[in-house]
A and B are shown apart, each in its own frame.
Chain A
Amino acid sequence: MPLILHGLTPIHWAVAGASIALITLTLLAVANRRLGVSSGLEDLCSLVIDQPFYRRTAVTSGRPWRLPFLAGLVVGGFLSAALGGGWSPTWALGMLDRAAGLGHGAKLAWMFVGGVFTGFGTRLANGCTSGHGIFGNSNFEIPSLVASCCFMAAGIVTTQVIYRVVF
C-alpha cells in the first residue's frame, strides 16, 4: 500500500525498526538521554507557561536535547517530502477522506480533538510510543509494558468503532 505522501512505497519495517533502534541507542550512548518525544510537549509548553509543573528539573534539564530533536522531526518530514516528489501543503487524509469527506474546518476540529487526547494522555501516562513503546519496553520496564498494552488496545477499539461501526 502506498503512503499518502506522494504515493511513495514505504521502506521495509525491519529497516525502519533497526534505524529507530540505532537512533535510540546513539542518543543514550552519546548524550545519556532516554528517547522520549511526548515529554517534548511539556518542553514546548514550558516556553510560554509559567507553572511549577513546567519548572520541573525533568523538563528544564532536557531542553538542550529535546528542542533540537523536535525541530529535527519537522526537518526530517520536510526532507522526506522534498526529496520524494517535492514539498507542498496538502490536506490529503487517505481513508478518512474516502469515508467521511470532511471539509478543511472539520479536519482541523477532528485533529485538534485527537491532539488534546494525545497531549493530555501522554503526559498523564508519562510517555508515548517512543518513551514507553521503544525505550521502556527495551529496558524491560513494567510501566511501559502496561502503557503499551493500554494505548494499543484503546487505538484498536477506537479505529474499529470508527471504520467498522460508524463509517
Chain B
Amino acid sequence: MTLLYLALGTLFGFVLSRAGAADYDYIQGMFLFERFQLYGILATGVAVTAPGLWLLKKYGRTLTGAPLAIDRKSLNKGTVAGSLLFGIGWSLTGMCPGPILVNIGEGKVYAIAALAGALVGAALFGAAYDALQKPFGLPALKVTARGAAGH
C-alpha cells in the first residue's frame, strides 16, 4: 500500500505543479480576480468528487470490502480563525500545504523556508492546544480513540 500512497501523492504533486496550483503568480492571479484557473480547478474538483463520494457512501464499502469510515470535521471558532490565518499564509507564500512540498520538489529554494515556517506553526499550535481548546471550542484530545481514520 505504501507504493500506492507514494504513487497517488506523486500524481497529485505532478498535477498541482502543472496546473498552476503550486505557482505563485497563479495564486495571486486568483486572489486578484485576474485568473480563473484555480477557481476552475477547485470547482471541477468538488463537482467530480461529490457524485463519486455519494456513490461510494451509497455502496458503503471500500474496494477491499471494509466499511467506509469518513471522519467528519467539527465546526468551532478555530474553523473561522484558523482559516483566516491560513488565507493570509496562502497569499504570502503563494502555496497551500500540498504545493509547499511540490515547490520544494520543483527546486524552488525558498519553499524550504515555507515548510520550516509551516512546521513551526503546527508545532506552536500543538504546544498551545491546552490554552486554545476552551476559547476556540476545540474538541478534547483523543489519545486512545478508535484507529479507523485520521482527520
A residues 34-70 near B (Cβ < 8 Å) are 34, 36-42, 44-45, 49, 51-62, 64-66, 68-70
Question: Smallest CB–CB gap between A159 and chain B, Å?
Answer: 3
Cβ A89 vs Cβ B107 within 8 A: yes
- The listed residue (A21, A64, A81, A153) touching B87 by CB distance below 8 A is A153
Cβ A143 vs Cβ B116 within 8 A: no
Count residues of chain B with CB under 8 A from any CB of chain A: 127
Question: Smallest CB–CB gap between A63 and chain B, Å?
Answer: 8
Cβ A23 vs Cβ B19 within 8 A: no
Main secondary structure of the interface of A (DSSP, over half): helix
Cβ B97 vs Cβ A38 within 8 A: yes
Cβ A61 vs Cβ B113 within 8 A: no
The answer to whether residues A1 and B29 also contact, given A21-B48, A70-B9 and a CB cut-off of 8 A, is: yes
A121: Cβ under 8 A from any B Cβ? yes
Question: Smallest CB–CB gap between B13 and chain A, Å?
Answer: 2
**Complex Cα gap A49–B129 (Å):** 14
Question: Smallest CB–CB gap between B129 and chain A, Å?
Answer: 5
- The listed residue (B11, B86, B127) touching A76 by CB distance below 8 A is B11
A18: Cβ under 8 A from any B Cβ? yes
Nearest to A79 among chain B residues (CB) is B14
Which residues of A have CB within 8 Å of B83?
121, 125, 132, 146-151, 154
Question: Smallest CB–CB gap between A54 and chain B, Å?
Answer: 6
Interface string of B33-50 (1 = CB under 8 A from A): 101111111111111111
A109: Cβ under 8 A from any B Cβ? yes
**Complex Cα gap A137–B49 (Å):** 9
Which residues of B have CB within 8 Å of A76?
9-17, 102, 105
Cβ B18 vs Cβ A8 within 8 A: yes
**Complex Cα gap A88–B95 (Å):** 20
- The listed residue (B23, B84, B148) touching A5 by CB distance below 8 A is B23
Interface string of B12-32 (1 = CB under 8 A from A): 111111111111111111111
Which residues of A have CB within 8 Å of B13?
72-77, 79-80
Which residues of A have CB within 8 Å of B80?
125, 146-147, 150
**Complex Cα gap A68–B132 (Å):** 31
- The listed residue (B8, B45, B89, B146) touching A121 by CB distance below 8 A is B89
Cβ A32 vs Cβ B68 within 8 A: yes
The answer to whether residues A118 and B117 also contact, given A10-B20, A21-B49, A68-B2 and a CB cut-off of 8 A, is: yes
Nearest to B102 among chain A residues (CB) is A77
Q: List 27 A-B contacts (CB under 8 A).
A: A11-B15, A17-B47, A21-B46, A30-B62, A32-B69, A39-B151, A58-B142, A58-B145, A68-B3, A75-B9, A76-B11, A77-B14, A78-B105, A84-B18, A107-B113, A110-B110, A111-B114, A112-B116, A116-B120, A117-B92, A119-B121, A120-B122, A121-B82, A124-B81, A127-B73, A133-B46, A153-B87
Among all A-B residue pairs, the 7 with the closest Cβ atoms: A72-B9, A76-B13, A115-B117, A17-B44, A119-B121, A77-B105, A154-B87
